[in-house]
Structure 1
Amino acid sequence: MHNAQPWRFRFCSRSSTFQLRADLERAMPHSDPNNRALRLGCGAALFNLRVGAVHAGWEPAVQLLPDPADPELLAKIRLTEPTPPDSGLGRLHPAIRRRHTSRDPFAETDIPAAVQTDLHDAAQQEGAHLVLPGAWHVQSLLELVHDAEGRDALNPERSAELARWTRVGTGTATDGVPAYAFGPRKWDGKAPVRDFAGRRAVADRDAAIFEHTPHLFLLGTEGDLPEDWLRAGQAMERVLLLATLEGLATSLTSHALEWTDLRWLVRDPTTAMGYVQMVLRLGYGPQGQATPRRPVHEVLDID
């Protein structure tokens, strides 16, 4: 959430093993009280590590939540036998640097059925489900997002968390969402796009008409435990990287999922998806602006 980058890695050179740990100092206790979204983000970072390992010629063997006594240790990743760098996950590597969240309008253009099938299969490969809801469900989802926006505006703790992770004006922050990545204000349209500016003025920010029939995908799992959240994060990143290679712009909306009662209403009762973990907005349009990343020495230790 909000480009908080809540992860730390440690690499043990003697065993060729990475550890992935949650950085709870970057948690959002009001918007994400059980750290579900935090673990989703860490799962996405874990997937990128897997892609990078294959690209470097190594097969990664992953063990999730390896120590029940240490819940902040989310995964161990051991580099095993060499593997061709352009095989399997390695083909997704070019998309890691290209994919950025786009908060711009997308074209009113359908996504080909073959591409939708490939995205669905990508989620399944990581133990998750990806569903394109019907028109009635999309309308219901948009109403839930609107409800969540109203609740957030009246909640000072959540507003403070949002302000902490958004950057208006100049600065050298290496995390959070800078003003140049807010995208235009929504003048019209139905696409669910969080307005990170709120009531704050942002110089030279335009307004735009967003799509009236947004392509929203529900990504979820049958269970709702920490391991499910980590798997969902990996599935989310796999879908986003593949979508990028397919020429799609990608965006995320978690607004309605940040309220427990609303999150339950987001699910599609006609599918095997028990719990929605993220709502993806995909389409054809600008790829979005790159946002800052923390320097390597802050997120990686080497033994």
Structure 2
Amino acid sequence: MSEQLPQAHVDVLLAAAVAAPSMHNTQPWRFDVQGRVIDIYLDGSRTLPAEDPTGRAMRIAAGAATFNLRCAAEALGYGTWFGLAPYPREEPDLLARIVVEPTEARDEELADLAEQIPRRHTDRNPSDPAPIAEGVRVELMRAAHAEGAELIWLGESEIHAVLDLTLQTDLREIRDWRRSAERAHWIGGTRPAEGIPSTALGPRPATYPATVRDLGTRPLDRLRRQSAFETHPDIAILCTDYDEPADQVAAGAALERVLLVATRAGVSASFLNQPLEYEDLRTKVQRLTRRPGHADMIIRFSHTHPGPGTARRPLGDFLPKEQQ
């Protein structure tokens, strides 16, 4: 167990982990590598106190990073076993502990999904009008279930209800300068290592409320070209039965598995999570599923037309100084 992983393999594992999505591309992770054990911590310096006051989005991001690391390990010929939020009271910032060991019983599905990690990007462009194929929908549901979550596709009336909730969110935010300032800190302009650059925002929706979240905060970003988005979007809710830290990390793993399976099928995604930033609206989103549980993500799926992705910081930034 104490044998150190080769540095080249550590680099591959961490590069896969940090390619995971995070809210506003804050990349809120820290890693500690000891022998064959990799711990994933929250980076408290990269919080979003206005938009993510409970840290739920950060924990989801940690779960997505954990899943990517597991996929990369399988591609390198390792197996993994892991615990999510193993010490919630003693070490609340420790969200995953992953043991990486050689194995002859490779998980071929995870190894295959590792190839999709560099291809996955959030896609804020209009989609083709054709709906997502039923077989793909079922495959994405199975992907969520494999990680302990549920992906629930919404019907037309529920989709309109979600858009109404995004409108309610926008009305609440009109005079909330803290949220506006926080978003402007991470979004727009040139972002060579973190955040969302203007080039990744996609076009402005021509109608409102829209099936994509317009994250533009700067005057020039609000002058982006307009486009008409699909009138019958494919939207699903990712939810878990419970809402403890470990459940939120598991939701992140389920999210990333869904996104990688979608990428392999030629489907991309963007997110309409703004109602989930308010607990009362989050409850209303969950009610739309007609199931008990807790909504973690609102996902719009589309036929892939991805634009530029978002950059990541150097790997050394995620490690203690002695491991850089």
Return the TM-score normalized by structure 1.
0.93
Instruction: Kindly indicate whether residue 156 of structure 2 is the aligned counterpart of residue 150 of structure 1.
Output: no
Instruction: Kindly indicate whether residue 32 of structure 2 is the aligned counterpart of residue 10 of structure 1.
Output: yes
In the alignment, the residues of structure 1 paired with residue 104 and residue 212 of structure 2 have an alpha-carbon distance, to the nearest angstrom, of 40
Unaligned stretches of 5+ residues in structure 1: none
SS state of the match for residue 213, structure 1?
coil
Q: Which of the numbers 41, 52, 55 marks the counterpart of 1:35?
A: 55
Shift of 1:199: 5.3
Amino acid at match of 1:194: R
In the alignment, the residues of structure 2 paired with residue 286 and residue 150 of structure 1 have an alpha-carbon distance, to the nearest angstrom, of 30
In the alignment, the residues of structure 1 paired with residue 192 and residue 205 of structure 2 have an alpha-carbon distance, to the nearest angstrom, of 26
Aligned ranges for residues 68-217 of structure 1 at < 5 Å? 68-83=89-104, 87-168=108-189, 170=190, 173-188=192-207, 191-198=210-217, 200-202=219-221, 205-217=224-236
Shift of 1:80: 2.5
Partner of 1:266: 285
Equivalent residue pairs, number: 299
Shift of 1:299: 1.2
Q: Which of the numbers 259, 266, 282 marks the counterpart of 2:301?
A: 282
SS state of the match for residue 97, structure 2?
strand
In the alignment, the residues of structure 1 paired with residue 104 and residue 58 of structure 2 have an alpha-carbon distance, to the nearest angstrom, of 31
Shift of 1:21: 0.3
Q: What's the % identity of the aligned pairs?
A: 37
SS state of the match for residue 167, structure 1?
coil
Q: Which of the numbers 224, 247, 264 marks the counterpart of 1:228?
A: 247
Give the CA RMSD over aligned residues: 1.9
SS state of the match for residue 174, structure 1?
coil
Cα 1:271–1:89 change in 2 (3 A) is: farther
Shift of 1:270: 5.6
Partner of 1:257: 276
Shift of 1:83: 3.9
Contact 2:273 2:298 survives alignment (8 Å): yes
Shift of 1:201: 1.4
Shift of 1:249: 1.8
In the alignment, the residues of structure 2 paired with residue 215 and residue 287 of structure 1 have an alpha-carbon distance, to the nearest angstrom, of 16
SS state of the match for residue 216, structure 1?
strand
Q: Tell me whether 91-100 or 193-202 shows the greater mean CA deviation.
A: 193-202
Partner of 2:4: none
In the alignment, the residues of structure 1 paired with residue 70 and residue 308 of structure 2 have an alpha-carbon distance, to the nearest angstrom, of 24
Contact 2:188 2:217 survives alignment (8 Å): no
Contact 1:103 1:193 survives alignment (8 Å): yes
Q: Tell me whether 182-191 or 34-43 shows the greater mean CA deviation.
A: 182-191
Amino acid at match of 1:94: E
Amino acid at match of 2:144: A
SS state of the match for residue 2, structure 1?
helix
Amino acid at match of 1:90: A
Shift of 1:194: 1.9
SS state of the match for residue 79, structure 2?
strand
Deviations, residues 2-23 of structure 1 (Å, cap 9, x unaligned): 000000111112xx11000000
Which structure carries more relative contact order (alpha carbon 8 Å, separation 6+)?
1
Amino acid at match of 2:130: T
Instruction: Kindly indicate whether residue 44 of structure 2 is the aligned counterpart of residue 24 of structure 1.
Output: yes
Q: Tell me whether 266-275 or 157-166 shows the greater mean CA deviation.
A: 266-275
Unaligned stretches of 5+ residues in structure 2: 1-22
